Amino acid sequence: MNIVDFLNLLVAAVLLAGVYAAMSVGMTIIYGVLKIVNLAHAGFLMLGAYFVYELYTRFNVDPLLGVIFAFPVFFLIGAGIYWLLVRRIPRSDQPTLPSLLLLFGLWLVLQNLGYLIWGNGDHAILTPRTFSTFQIGPIIFPTVRLVVFGAAVASLAGLEFALHRTWFGRAIRALMQNSDAGRIAGVNVDRTAQIAFGIGIAFAGAAGGLLAMMYSFTPDFGGSFLLRAFVIIVLGGLESFAGVAVGALILALVETFSILVIPSGYQPAISFSLLVLALVILPDGVAGLWKKRQRLA
Amino acid sequence: MKENTAGSKNSVSRFMATAAPLVLLLVLALVPLVGPGPNTIRLLFISLVWITASVAWNILGGFAGQVSFGFAVFYGLGAYATAISLNAGLDRVTSLALAALVGATISLLVGLPTFRLRGPYFAIATIGVSEAVRVVMTNLAVTGGASGYRITEKGAFNQHLHFYMALGLAAAAVAISMWIRHSKLGLALISIREDQDAASDLGVNPYGTKLLAHALAAALAAAAGGVYAGYSAFVHPNGVFGFDISVAILLMPIIGGIGTVWGPVIGAVVYGLVQEELIASFPQFHLLLYGGLLILIILFEPGGVLGLINQLFRFVKARTGVGAHT
């Protein structure tokens, strides 16, 4: 492999990592605050894809604008689902059997509502952007991936800002670090959890829209990305935002470069192998490694 | 014999625990002799396979509280292992034993890295494993890849033979489940489910116990897949490793009553009967209904059908004043 191919793959991997991070960050927030694994994440990724698709085909709304619309819409959906379902299950500092099963059931419902509404055919969002590329020197940038990367990074920066500069952001981080201490300090746990769930779902919907700009999709669309999101947040240590970025980059690099040696049919097996590997070698994720070093120092 | 309300309840449950299963087994064993049509026997056969898988899932998910979303892996690998062994000329019982062994071995692959850790890792890994295995089996040339794998039948097709194999396996599964429930292993599993720290303070080894329960459950699920493969004589990766198989195996014990001996059996029978009707009329719709059902059960009656029956009993008792000693 010459250096140009290598650089092209590297660029592709970094661009992919952006949307992977956006897709996983919602899961991290929800896990961090509520300590539940949002198995319905895949369903919301799929709904986000169809949301952007419908806006584009019916009202000719640019997919990028559609993704921006997806944030408030999915935030409200998430907050509603929290109120309707999630708040009714017992709270715990570990994922409980009811929470896993409830969200799994929700995923089944969403996925099959998708089948009911859109059928099982492939849909795709094709804009003039989709197939255009531009070159800097020998390196080729697909325009749509660059746009998606930009949108993903912008949304993550917005989240970072909200978490550090707003009262609710601080409340969310407080609950992620220590929910009892947060409660004592006057954080309204139920309200904060609702907002956190809403933000998590908002990111799932928006990330689904971003993914839909790059790939074709069916109602089963979210499933393969669900596993990827798991791998990323496990690599990142489940509750760390910086860890999500690192995890997304690792997965994107492994997936992109593994094409050279492993047949593409085995791609889903790669995510799983990486997950098992991460559990054996880095059970606390990359963030755990960092903490360990800090402790040693 | 002294009769009080608690005592009569105990004797009823003792009867349920010993005599009723044997009577049920006897009745089922006699069914083919009465001469029902092949379709009835097929339905019974499938229900028995589901019962085995459902009881298997419950050993890990119900007793130990470890939710697995990927039991299709064991079901499917058991089906493949049986098919390959049968084609290699082994007899049916040995093939099933091999399938169970394969299931137990593969269960370690998921259990060893994930049970060591606290948190949701096991459940997460099981979501990935069935997808990964399905993909590998779809691409694997030795077993025919995506076109599936056929068993070459040596004798004439004997439906009763398959029925009795499924009945024997289901009876074994229920017996194992009953034994676990009343053994030290069962107590250890339940204590892990309720409070892992307390369990481990009392001398339970959570890691080893969970691994053992997972291996037992996987072996039974694999044998169930094997019995099914022997009947259908054809194994297809998208069939036996399908997402809906994992959903079914998880849903049945929850419908019936998770963490009990008879709940998974009831759930499997209900599921088996409803599935036949549903899948014919709503090919996509059935998973939607199952998802909704799962949500409703978790929110309103986590005890499933058995929980409902218990509530009904309590309601009737309160109404008629029987046993109302307060």
DSSP state of B146: G
pLDDT tens sequence across A174-216: 888 888 888 888 888 888 999 999 999 999 999 999 999 888 8
The pLDDT value recorded for residue B284 is 64
**Does A72 contact chain B (CB < 8 Å)?**
no
Residue A155 pLDDT greater than 80, yes or no: yes
| Structural domain contains residue B264 | no
| Structural domain contains residue B33 | no
pLDDT tens sequence across A45-101: 999 999 999 999 999 889 889 999 999 999 999 999 999 999 888 887 777 888 889
Q: Which residues does chain A have within 8 Å of residue B67's beta carbon, measured at their own beta carbons?
A: 97, 100-101
CB-count burial class (<10 Å; 0-12, 13-18, 19+) for A258: middle
Residue A132 pLDDT greater than 90, yes or no: no
Q: From CA B75, how far away is CA B66, in angstroms rounded?
A: 18
A157-161, A287-291, B116-120: the lowest-pLDDT one = A287-291
Look at B125 and A97 and tell me if their CB atoms are within 8 Å: no
| Structural domain contains residue B234 | yes
Please work out, in degrees rounded to the nearest 5, the angle formed at the alpha carbon of residue B266 by the alpha carbons of B262 and B270.
170
The parts of chain B modelled with pLDDT lower than 70 are 1-17, 282-284, 321-326
> Which residues 138-177 of A are in CB contact (within 8 Å) with B?
none
**Per-residue pLDDT averaged across A30-47, rounded?**
91
Q: From CA B260, how far away is CA B267, in angstroms rounded?
A: 11
| Structural domain contains residue B84 | yes
pLDDT tens sequence across A237-265: 777 788 888 889 999 999 888 878 887 77
The pLDDT value recorded for residue A288 is 64
The pLDDT value recorded for residue B4 is 44
The pLDDT value recorded for residue B7 is 45
Smallest Cα distance from A158 to chain B, Å: 29
Q: Enter the pTM of the model.
A: 0.87
The pLDDT value recorded for residue A70 is 94
Of B100 and A287, the one with more pLDDT: B100
**Does A40 contact chain B (CB < 8 Å)?**
no
Smallest Cα distance from B222 to chain A, Å: 21
| Structural domain contains residue B3 | no
Look at A100 and B123 and tell me if their CB atoms are within 8 Å: yes
Tally of domains in chain B:
1
**Domain that residue B204 falls in:** 40-242
For residues B62 and B130, is the Cβ–Cβ distance under 8 A?
no
The shortest CB-CB distance from B131 to any of A98, A227, A280 is to A227
The pLDDT value recorded for residue A290 is 63
| Structural domain contains residue B226 | yes
Q: Which residues does chain A have within 8 Å of residue B287's beta carbon, measured at their own beta carbons?
A: 108, 111-112
The pLDDT value recorded for residue B57 is 95
Q: What is the ipTM of this complex?
A: 0.84
Give the residue among A192, A182, A197 at the shortest CA–CA distance from A81. Answer: A197
From the candidate CATH numbers 1.10.540, 1.10.3470, 3.40.50, 1.10.10, the one assigned to the domain spanning A3-296: 1.10.3470
Query: In the structure, what pLDDT confidence band is assigned to residue A294 with cuts at 50, 70 and 90?
Result: low
Residue of A nearest to B64 (CA): A97
The pLDDT value recorded for residue B323 is 53
Of A30 and A91, the one with more pLDDT: A30
For residues B96 and B223, is the Cβ–Cβ distance under 8 A?
yes
Q: From CA A115, how far away is CA A130, in angstroms rounded?
A: 25
| Structural domain contains residue B207 | yes
Calculate what percentage of chain A has a pLDDT beyond 90: 28
The pLDDT value recorded for residue B5 is 44
Residue of B nearest to A87 (CA): B299
Residue A42 pLDDT greater than 80, yes or no: yes
H or E element in which residue B56 lies: helix B38-58
Residue of B nearest to A98 (CA): B298
Residue A297 pLDDT greater than 60, yes or no: no
The shortest CB-CB distance from A268 to any of B65, B118, B131 is to B131
For residues B298 and A123, is the Cβ–Cβ distance under 8 A?
no
Look at A275 and B124 and tell me if their CB atoms are within 8 Å: yes
| Structural domain contains residue B205 | yes
